[in-house]
Amino acid sequence: MGYLNAIIILGGINIIAALGVAIITGYTGLFTIGHAGFMALGGYACAILVTTFHVPFAIALIIGGLFAGLCSFIIGVPAFRSQLRGDYFAIATLGLSEAIRLILNTTYKVVGGAFGFMGMSNLTTVPVVVIAVILALFFAHMFVTSQYGKNCIAISQDEVAAQMMGVNLLRTKLIALFISAFYAGVAGGLMGFYMAYLSPSFFTITRSSDLLAAVVFGGIQSLIGPTITAFVLVAVPELLRVFSEWRLIVYGLLFVIIMLFRPQGLLGYVEMNFAFARRWWNAVFTPHQAKQGTIKGDQ
Amino acid sequence: MSDSIFAMKNVSSEEISLKNLSVQFGGVRAVDNFSMTLYPGELVGLIGPNGAGKTTVFNLITNYIKPTSGEIFFMGKSLLGKSPDEICRMGISRTFQNIRLFPQMTAYENVELGLHNVPHYSLLEAFVRTPRARRAEAETRKRALELLEMVNLKDFAGERASSLPYGLQRRLELARAMATSPTLLLLDEPAAGMNEDECNELVKLIRQIHEHMKYTIIMIEHHMNVVMELCKNSRIYVLNLGSLLAVGSPKEIQTNPQVIKAYLGERKHARYNSNAGSQ
């Protein structure tokens, strides 16, 4: 049972962080291999708030997320101003995340340096994670279907056209990055209070690339795809412990195969929607109205 | 010549004026000392052989390319140093020579984007979708469908933009450009790749839009029938190798020997004259 709990919790945490990456990479079209850095920022901020300042866990999680979001501007403002795109932006995010990790690794005073930050209790339980994942999915869905989200999608499809149509690129990308980093920060906070300690070694480039892999495999412009793959990518190596060393090689292979045969990802452009549930509901409970609820041209 | 026009009319009533605009790419002067003035509600044509710098003029107006020298004024305000999105929100919208729709978005979403380039509600409202946000979205939807109807695309609202046939993509781009509620519309070869019938339809559509929405329009076009028809009561600017070759009514342009020379070349020019003489 404990083993299953571990998979659910770690899978849930990975889902939340991957949803963050989905917003910036899947929907806005900016590749990031630095979200481990934002997880670290959120995780440490949350841990310090709870242990030192006795802030309630839920509030500390949100503040940790906000802190990670604000720190994302450190890389966001200069990178978006100079119109960094594609690989260049990815490398910039990698640089920030490695800088964060190294700073944490060598700062012994408050955050414990390479020994890690200890003294947290195990507050991240299965119900907490499940609620957090549901909220994360709900709000991510709200964002990507809002006018803000649609502006992000437009940027990912044709940046020049989006700008010519009056979309403020800098502001829109910063909003997407902020929300994305917020998600990563919350995931980091949850992780610290599951592990009961935090170490800079949790937040290496491997974790960032795992998150990117979840989004690329799961699908561009989809929330449900990355959600599924983020969970699977945690669960499968856990279940097949023997092969966990081979995981990165398998990822690499999968990357190549997916890029060749399905560049939009497994569920690319498949919007998570509840139309099927509504149809089912209509069919079962209000059969005489089922035909009136046809969707107008917008979806 | 352009100076005399400035002197004649009140400067503040100008919609847009380009003054001695030049841009240089390395050693090439793509646009050379080009001036142009439009008054509200005008529809003028901009023609010239391939590579004459017509699209570059549009790129300069929207500040996608920065001019080497010269000035651009829109409603009395300088456009230099403004970003393309600011310029769009000031009221200049454009279409593209090579269609630039958002391929994976539906026709409806493409138009909608122009309407909410600045979202109508705050970020927090986006997360919880307050009634106000929902109302704003409903309003946007209504307006987007109206615009689609105006270009006869309402039946295709739910189709992915990339799956639409070419002619419809052009019209969709027009609807999207109109969605940003511009006062000046820059149309870059709206009739490119269209046959005779489609051209006639487009002429009707553009004229209708022009009269109905009171836009000022600059249109780049290679189809002479389209330009001559739409600009018959106004002017056509002819660009060649980056500089202004001629400006005048369609009739003046059609008979201007320099224009004919630029389009058809020296020798054919001679033949054209002899043909004209024999008729």
pLDDT level of residue B9 (50, 70, 90 thresholds): very low
Give the tens place of pLDDT for each residue, A194-227. Answer: 999 999 999 999 899 889 989 998 998 999 999 9
Nearest alpha-carbon partner for A40 in A203, A210, A207, A182? A203
- Burial pattern B33-58, b for ≥16 Cβ within 10 A else e, equals ebbbbbbeebbbbbbbbeebbbbbbb
Asked whether residue B56 carries a pLDDT value surpassing 90, the answer given is yes
DSSP-derived pairing of the beta strands B92-94 and B77-78: unpaired
pLDDT level of residue B183 (50, 70, 90 thresholds): very high
Section B55-84 average pLDDT: 92
Q: What was the pLDDT predicted at A168? A: 95
Asked whether residue B110 carries a pLDDT value surpassing 80, the answer given is yes
Section A97-101 average pLDDT: 94
Q: What was the pLDDT predicted at A286? A: 60
CA–CA distance, A42 with A60 (Å, rounded to integer): 9
Question: Is there a contact between A151 and B109 if contact means CB atoms under 8 Å apart?
Answer: no
Residues 68-107 of B with CB under 8 A from A: 83-85, 88-89, 93-94, 96, 100-106
What is the Cα gyration radius of chain B? 20
> Is the Cα torsion angle A145, A80, A78, A43 positive or negative in sign?
positive
Options 1.10.3470, 1.10.3720, 3.10.450, 1.10.287; CATH for A2-289 is 1.10.3470
Asked whether residue B136 carries a pLDDT value surpassing 90, the answer given is yes
Question: Is there a contact between B94 and A164 if contact means CB atoms under 8 Å apart?
Answer: yes
Angle between helices B266-278 and B257-264 (to 10 degrees): 120
CA–CA distance, B219 with B177 (Å, rounded to integer): 13
Token output for B207: 């004229």
Identity of the amino acid at B61: I
* Angle, CA A299 vertex, CA A167 and CA A152 arms, to 5°: 25
- Percent helix / strand / coil, chain B, rounded to 5: 45, 20, 30
pLDDT level of residue B19 (50, 70, 90 thresholds): very high
Question: Is there a contact between A168 and B118 if contact means CB atoms under 8 Å apart?
Answer: yes
From the list B88, B123, B133, the residue facing A175 with the nearest CB is: B123
Identity of the amino acid at B47: I
Question: Is there a contact between B121 and A221 if contact means CB atoms under 8 Å apart?
Answer: no
Q: What was the pLDDT predicted at A297? A: 41
* Chain A contact present for B122, CB below 8 A: no
From the list A157, A166, A297, the residue facing B108 with the nearest CB is: A297
Q: What was the pLDDT predicted at A233? A: 87
Average pLDDT, chain B: 87
- CB contacts, 8 Å: B137 with chain A: 147
pLDDT level of residue B107 (50, 70, 90 thresholds): very high
* Chain B contact present for A81, CB below 8 A: no
Domain ranges across chain A: 2-289
Nearest alpha-carbon partner for B107 in B38, B182, B163, B24? B163
Give the tens place of pLDDT for each residue, B194-207. Answer: 888 889 999 999 99
Residue with tokens 């708030």: A49
> Is the Cα torsion angle A103, A107, A112, A113 positive or negative in sign?
positive
Asked whether residue B95 carries a pLDDT value surpassing 80, the answer given is yes
pLDDT level of residue B271 (50, 70, 90 thresholds): low
Least confident window among A143-147, B103-107, B192-196: B192-196
Section B177-194 average pLDDT: 92
Q: What is the ipTM of this complex?
A: 0.86
Contacting residues for B23 by C-beta, under 8 A, at least 6 apart? B29, B30, B31, B56, B60, B65, B66, B67, B68
From the list B85, B96, B102, the residue facing A163 with the nearest CB is: B85
Give the tens place of pLDDT for each residue, A62-88. Answer: 999 999 999 999 999 999 999 888 889
pLDDT level of residue A273 (50, 70, 90 thresholds): low
Residue with tokens 């107006």: B61
- Inter-chain CB pairs, A–B, below 8 Å: 110
Residue A233 vs residue B277, higher pLDDT:
A233
Section B63-88 average pLDDT: 92
Nearest alpha-carbon partner for A56 in A189, A145, A149? A189
- Beta-ladder partners of B17: B37, B73
Torsions phi, psi for A281 (to 5 deg): -60, -50
Asked whether residue B277 carries a pLDDT value surpassing 50, the answer given is no
Residue with tokens 């709870």: A50
Torsions phi, psi for A104 (to 5 deg): -60, -35
Asked whether residue B275 carries a pLDDT value surpassing 70, the answer given is no
How many angstroms separate the CA of residue A30 from the nearest CA in chain B? 16
- CB contacts, 8 Å: A150 with chain B: 105, 109, 112-113, 116
Q: What was the pLDDT predicted at A69? A: 96
* Chain A contact present for B114, CB below 8 A: yes
Identity of the amino acid at A203: F
How many angstroms separate the CA of residue B274 from the nearest CA in chain A? 47
Domain B2-91+182-278: CATH superfamily, name plus number: P-loop containing nucleotide triphosphate hydrolases (3.40.50.300)
Average pLDDT, chain A: 87
- CB contacts, 8 Å: B145 with chain A: 297
Stretch(es) of chain B classified as CATH 3.40.50.300: 2-91+182-278
